[in-house]
Amino acid sequence: MNNLLFSIFPNENFIDLALYQYGWEHCAPAHTFGPATRNHYLFHYVISGTGTLYADNKKGETVRYTIKSGEGFMIFPNQICTYTADKDLPWEYT
């Protein structure tokens, strides 16, 4: 089961803080995204389930974070990261 809702707003001429994209996904078990970088900030809020985030810090070291329901994580521009839904209790996030 892999349900997904995703949209990117077409205007890239933002001056102030503005919504660039939004989405929702109920991931399949062990679904993985990355390693990848973004050219914008991206925040994921975990509605249910759990997963793992691997994100590079400023020193280029990869740090592992376990994220669960009710928590969220921020991805920063040009930060290399990978995130994976748990194999037994995959996350649903927005």
Question: pLDDT tens-digit profile of 30-74?
Answer: 999 999 999 889 999 999 999 999 999 989 999 999 999 999 999
Cβ atoms 55, 74 nearer than 8 A: no
Question: pLDDT tens-digit profile of 10-33?
Answer: 666 655 666 778 899 999 999 999
The candidate with the shortest Cα–Cα distance to 21, out of 38, 46, 37, is: 38
Round to whole Å and give the CA distance between 12 and 1.
33
Q: Can you give the residue range of the structural domain that contains 72?
A: 3-93
Give the CATH number, domain containing residue 46: 2.60.120.10
Element (H, E) at 42: strand 42-48
Cβ atoms 21, 38 nearer than 8 A: no
Domain count for the chain, please give it. Answer: 1
